[in-house]
Chains A and B, each alone.
Chain A
Amino acid sequence: MTVTREAIAVPDSTGQTIALLRVLRRGRARRQAASAAYWIYLIALVVAVYGGAQIAAAFHALRHPPPPTALTPRVLHAAPAGLAALAVIVLLVLLRDALWRGPVTLPQVTVDWVLGTPVDRGRLLRPRFRASAAAAVVAGAAVGIVPGAALVGLGLGGHSSASVLRLIGAAMLSTALLFACGTGAAGLIERYPAAALRLRRLTPAFAGVAALFGGLAAWTALGRPPGALSAVALWSGPWGWAVQGMTALAGGPAPWWPLATGLLGALAVAALAWGDRAAAGVPGAALRIRAQTIGAMSAAVLSMDTRGLARAYGSRGAASRARLRLRPPRRRELVLLWRDLLALARAPSRLAGATALALLAVGLIAVAGHGGQASLVPVASALALGYLAAAWLCEGARLDAEDTRRSENLPFRFESLAWWHAAVPCLVLLVVAGVPVLAASLAAGDPRLLAWLAVTVPVLVAGALVNVFRPRNHPDLFGGFETPVGNTAAISVVFWLVWGPVLAVGAMTLLLTRAIDSTSPGVLLRTVVIGAAVAVGLCAYASVRARRLRSS
């Protein structure tokens, strides 16, 4: 083994290297297998204990399927196009998975220590493709139970156990083959960057086809479109072939379903063969970037860091430069407002998402309050949507809470940041939701609507800030404490995650439901006063949590 000026013969070291790695990591592999077996046992136990009765009931229902109802013919008419739309979406998800992960992935350490050596990539990567393909086929078969059981549950496919089994079996076979097609094609996308580029360009077209089929399904369920349109959906590609077996066995118009299933099977075999051949040539650069992304996403999942998860997914090859600028203010009091506006300007999708959620919330509360009587669930749902909108707008606060060192150079105490960061989300929500509420208020001649909005927005934003400044998660959180009624870990984790919305949405649900039900000015005044007190209290609580977060 020397340093040399001359060309070096490529060694045939693959077998030895893989065998050595297997020997060296045998202990770890055993531990992983034991851990996997434990988790499978745990999941099976939980499913058996909590879902055993439901599963038994489902099996019983499938053995004795319900009779057709008035809805059944409509479902049967809509099934070809509707199921084809779902199949297009499933296929698109499988293909787009290859843009960031794909069927061939290596752990970061293997990338770092083995990928750069002359080990034969085919022998390293093909087993991984085959394992992914096998897992996809099993997952596909499992997914196939859902549409099959749904059709049976809607009174389709006959009454005998044999006919039920045939229908569900056909569904499982079709979806397994569809998943196999998707995995094979995903392997090609991972191998060839040009294919990945083509998929990105074709994604809107795929989505359009799914929407078209969805529209066609609605049309066939409600009207009488030409039957040829459903036939077009069934023969338009593998997504159509995949649903013909289900459609035919449910009693629908797919007489050539054996041919379609055969075509799908042939395509699946071809796709897997191409994918297997391509697996050996997946570029090192693609494997590196996938290993990095998966590593970052796994770390984010394990630490329950949803922002980290989104960041890891969004950082795939992204190289961004700030385009939009805002002139900094001269007054120090305005600097955090400027900073929060900048955070929103740099992530306009947050603003758009928050706007959509806020408008949905306003719409839902308008429906909930229609007729002067409000029930708890719609009001709580509307407030939950409003809370999500507020949480999306607290990006600046979240950045400061994520790393407390970031704000060290600001002329504010860390605990006061909760108050400062409330301003921009409140302003944005008041403007966004204020326009339709003002219009409704003017139309109905009811100024109470504006008062409700004015008091609800600060409470929701303060609740979001309570969540933003939550304590760091630590192992004790997942350990919990033993009590006579069980371990507290699950409830601790849930409260750690949703304490802010529980307080804000809970308080406002009680207040608003009563306020909507009453036209008394006293009730309105009480709502405004209590709401303002809740907002101030939550902001103060967020401030306390911020101080604890910083000192932790």
Chain B
Amino acid sequence: MSQPDPPPPPPLLALTGVSRTYGDRRALLPVDLALAAGRCVAVMGANGSGKSTLLRIASGRDVPTTGQVVYAGRALSQDDLAVRTEIAVVGDMVSAYPDLTVREHLELVAVAHGAGRDRDELVDAALRECRLADHGDALPGSLSSGQLQALHLATMLVRPRRLLVLDEPEQRLDPGRRRWLGELLCAQKRAGAAVLMATHHVELATAAADHVLVLGDGAVIGQGTPDAAAAALR
């Protein structure tokens, strides 16, 4: 007698009927999305299709016009302490302290998340991982845009994380670093993190995602495995 399949794990993040309008402009039509620990969902679509809106809602940085967002069993709010502790968001950082070095930025985030004695070790590891080891003492003004993006990605490595929300994390990265990013996200997934990312890169989605959601004019126009979505997008 065969064992029945184990029930799927409960989703860490669940969006139900989530939509967003700005004035009379409908940026996102009702969308459902469930994301479990150790899984990665990639959101793809043309510019203006609603990817960033969906991610802002999924990270609690925007409030949906309709529908609900549940994280770890409770309504999601960016002001919730647990949300600030567990969800790492990369993509909407637009500034950096002009007088703090790369290392000091990471130290700040690590300490804010209670790193304590492990701080230096964590920061060194993140700098190495993101290939910023030679730029630890550099000020943000001297970094290239790709290095700044690497700094933003490094911030998620110096803090605890259960859910990663990444809005086009591949932007400004060269092809080599994009491949590295795919491997990094797979490693995060294997370690148990849930990953939700918006991307324009089919290769990155294929490398890291388990499921792809394709948006067009704010509506879901397709979804499935990365390969199927890639074929549909082509």
CA distance A1 to B105 in the complex (A): 17
Inter-subunit contact A4/B94 (CB<8 Å): no
- Number of residues from A at the complex interface, CB < 8 A: 39
Collect the chain B residues with CB atoms within 8 Å of residue A11's CB.
85, 113-114
Known A-B contacts A24-B104, A109-B97, A112-B93; A5 and B37 likewise in contact (beta carbons under 8 Å): yes
Collect the chain B residues with CB atoms within 8 Å of residue A320's CB.
23
B122 in contact (CB, < 8 A): yes
Inter-subunit contact A1/B192 (CB<8 Å): no
Tell me which of B23, B72, B112 contacts A7 (CB under 8 A).
Answer: B72
Q: Kindly provide the distance from the CB of A540 to the nearest chain B CB, expressed in whole angstroms.
A: 43
CA distance A27 to B139 in the complex (A): 14
Known A-B contacts A118-B112, A284-B61, A285-B61; A24 and B37 likewise in contact (beta carbons under 8 Å): no
Inter-subunit contact B114/A12 (CB<8 Å): yes
B181 in contact (CB, < 8 A): no
A21 in contact (CB, < 8 A): yes
Collect the chain B residues with CB atoms within 8 Å of residue A9's CB.
85
Cβ-closest chain A residue relative to B27: A319
Collect the chain A residues with CB atoms within 8 Å of residue B81's CB.
10, 118
Collect the chain A residues with CB atoms within 8 Å of residue B174's CB.
none
User: Which residues of B in the span 14-55 have a Cβ within 8 Å of any Cβ on A?
Assistant: 22-25, 37-38
- How many A-B pairs fall under 8 Å by CB? 120
CA distance A9 to B158 in the complex (A): 16
Q: Kindly provide the distance from the CB of B151 to the nearest chain A CB, expressed in whole angstroms.
A: 11
Inter-subunit contact A8/B61 (CB<8 Å): no
Known A-B contacts A27-B99, A109-B95, A284-B79; A8 and B108 likewise in contact (beta carbons under 8 Å): no
Collect the chain A residues with CB atoms within 8 Å of residue B111's CB.
13, 16-17, 20
User: Which residues of B in the span 204-224 have a Cβ within 8 Å of any Cβ on A?
Assistant: none
A108 in contact (CB, < 8 A): yes
Inter-subunit contact B162/A5 (CB<8 Å): yes
Inter-subunit contact A113/B108 (CB<8 Å): yes
Q: Kindly provide the distance from the CB of A288 to the nearest chain B CB, expressed in whole angstroms.
A: 8
Inter-subunit contact B24/A25 (CB<8 Å): no
CA distance A342 to B168 in the complex (A): 36
Collect the chain A residues with CB atoms within 8 Å of residue B158's CB.
1
Inter-subunit contact B113/A4 (CB<8 Å): no
Inter-subunit contact A3/B188 (CB<8 Å): yes
Known A-B contacts A10-B85, A12-B114, A112-B94; A5 and B192 likewise in contact (beta carbons under 8 Å): yes
- Number of residues from B at the complex interface, CB < 8 A: 49
B78 in contact (CB, < 8 A): yes
Inter-subunit contact B62/A285 (CB<8 Å): yes
Inter-subunit contact A25/B161 (CB<8 Å): no
Known A-B contacts A3-B193, A17-B108; A108 and B94 likewise in contact (beta carbons under 8 Å): yes
| 1/0 contact string of B123-161 vs chain A (CB within 8 Å) | 000000000000000000000000000000000001111
Inter-subunit contact B25/A3 (CB<8 Å): no
Collect the chain B residues with CB atoms within 8 Å of residue A25's CB.
97, 99-100
B118 in contact (CB, < 8 A): yes
B107 in contact (CB, < 8 A): yes
User: Which residues of A in the span 279-304 have a Cβ within 8 Å of any Cβ on B?
Assistant: 281, 283-285, 288
Inter-subunit contact A24/B109 (CB<8 Å): no
Inter-subunit contact A8/B85 (CB<8 Å): yes
| 1/0 contact string of B66-97 vs chain A (CB within 8 Å) | 00000010000011011011100100111111
Collect the chain A residues with CB atoms within 8 Å of residue B188's CB.
3
Instruction: Write the residues of chain B forming the contact surface with A, with a CB cutoff of 8 angstroms.
Output: 22-25, 37-38, 61-63, 72, 78-79, 81-82, 84-86, 89, 92-97, 99-100, 104-105, 107-116, 118, 122, 158-162, 188, 191-193
Q: A1-B159, A114-B112 are in contact. List 6 more A-B contacts (CB 8 A).
A: A7-B82, A7-B162, A8-B86, A25-B99, A117-B84, A319-B25
Q: 27 A-B Cβ contacts within 8 A?
A: A1-B110, A1-B160, A2-B191, A3-B161, A4-B191, A5-B38, A7-B86, A11-B85, A11-B113, A12-B114, A17-B111, A25-B97, A109-B95, A112-B93, A112-B94, A113-B93, A113-B96, A114-B108, A114-B112, A117-B112, A118-B84, A121-B79, A284-B79, A285-B62, A319-B23, A319-B25, A321-B24
